[in-house]
Chain A
Amino acid sequence: MGGPMTGPVGRHRRTALAAAAIVVAVAVAVGGVLLARHRPASLDSRVDAVAGTLRCPTCTAESVADSNSTMAQSMRHEIRDQLRQGRSPDQIRSWFENRYGERVLLMPHPRGLALVLWVVPLAVLAGGVLLLVRGRHRRNRDGSAPAGVLSARRVGVAALACVLVGAAVPALAWARSGPATPAPTAAQTEPMKARDWVAVAQSLEQQQDYRSAADAYRHAMRQQPSSPGVRTGLAFDLLRSGRPRQAIGLMTPMAHRTGPNRALALLILGLAQRSAHLPAADHTLRQFLEVAPHHPAADQVRRLLAESR
């Protein structure tokens, strides 16, 4: 059991421990960054990474990654296409800048006013460190004051500078993005209605892009969560884009409720269970045949059941 760490030895030990802790923390952080860089990122996360650096042109202070507007969706689709073609994030950002101007970049090029934002905090930090080091050095040499003690006034000035610099960043960002935003026309700000999203989803289904169609249905469902047509549409597209378990989650309550939509719900649920290799699939499909023996899909379901016997 060691004694309390007092006196010069204790102080040195504390300093050494603090230094070791900082070294470990930095090593862990650097290691984490390196690991993250070497792990191959999925296309979705690469799309999000680029979309997170672009400003949605029709939104207020939202990135293309955060916004659910039609424009942001189109831009994410374009980013995905360009990443698939092997274009780099910088090339993609430059492509958008050529069409929407520098304002589309959430992090503008460091020049003019933006350069001040970069340089001032760094200069203040460098100046502060320099003053601190020189002050300690002199006091150590003169023995006039214990090392590491700063005058209250200097701490006050440093704190004030930090607060001002901290306040400058959001204030400047606000100044850059605020007053001159063009007033959008009614058509640009008018949100799409559920029926518009359904039309988009149906169009995407015709192009056999079921994943995007499911996204469109999700928008419709946010506005009309209880619409059976929207729910079945979404479930069917989830199933067709390889996400049967999500389709099962959506269709199970509908399939147990009597009503005109029960047959379709049973059909989608049964097909989704089949796709997820769940043993309940055949039972659900037989229930579908009982409820709707003359449904256009009934014959196909009978064939499926015969095959699985």
Chain B
Amino acid sequence: MTRRLTVLLLAVLAVGGLAVVLGSGLGRASPQLVDQSSASSPLIGHRAPPLSGRTLQGGQFSLTRDPARVTFVNVWASWCGPCREELPLIADTAAQWAREGTGARVVTIDTKDGPLPARNMLRRSGATELPTLSDPHGDRAVAWGATGVPETFVVDHHGIVRARHVGPVTRDWLEREASQWGAR
């Protein structure tokens, strides 16, 4: 009888323990999940993925060979509606930074897209001067841990990823990040 009670007690303890674990799991989000908010990325604080190659404009771009004070890496595609709204703002801000010599610049990754629609959209957005790397298979976007378009990453002059923005950026965000990470 005592043995049976012991077994029963052990079973109740095991089930109770499991229920507590389950309850805590259901009741709160684990830190890893919270960490995946829209603006975070495991890349932040780490060296930026390599980014170089021939641009749609015909020039060469290299993140490491020609470092700037701050580089904004914007991922977009011509088939993405929010990108169409965002691109003119990015082009305008980048042109202003170049005129003022702030040391901040923008490079874009045109992902899962064709050069023809991409060039058309750059032209329509007044963004023909934005260095743009073609990414027809999407592997450049994946290398940056992008989950969609548009997304923007900030890289400081040491080549360290400092911030990530999901969705269309605002001028305020661009200016704030540029000055925070060393633009004049």
Contacts and interface: CB of A to CB of B under 8 A. Distances in A.
Nearest to A182: B38
Contacts of B11: 157, 160-161
A61 to B, nearest CB: 14
B137 to A, nearest CB: 5
Report which residue of A58, A154, A196, A204 has the largest number of chain B beta carbons within 10 angstroms of its beta carbon. Answer: A196
**Contact-residue size bin, chain B (C-beta under 8 Å from the other chain):** 35 or more
A194 to B, nearest CB: 11
A172 B114 CA distance: 43
Contact of B115 (A164, A182, A193, A203): A203
A188 B79 contact: no
A78 B139 contact: yes
A38 interface: no
A78 B145 CA distance: 12
A165 B11 CA distance: 12
Contact of A74 (B10, B142, B166): B142
A25 to B, nearest CB: 31
Contacts of B116: 199, 202-203
Nearest to B10: A127
Interface string A277-306: 000000000000000000000000000000
13 contacts: A78-B142, A101-B32, A112-B30, A153-B4, A157-B11, A161-B14, A165-B18, A172-B21, A172-B25, A176-B25, A187-B82, A188-B149, A204-B137
Interface of A: 57-58, 70-71, 73-75, 77-78, 81, 97-103, 112-113, 116, 120, 124, 127, 131, 153-154, 157, 160-161, 164-165, 168, 171-172, 175-176, 179-188, 190, 192-193, 195-196, 199-200, 202-204, 206-207, 209, 212
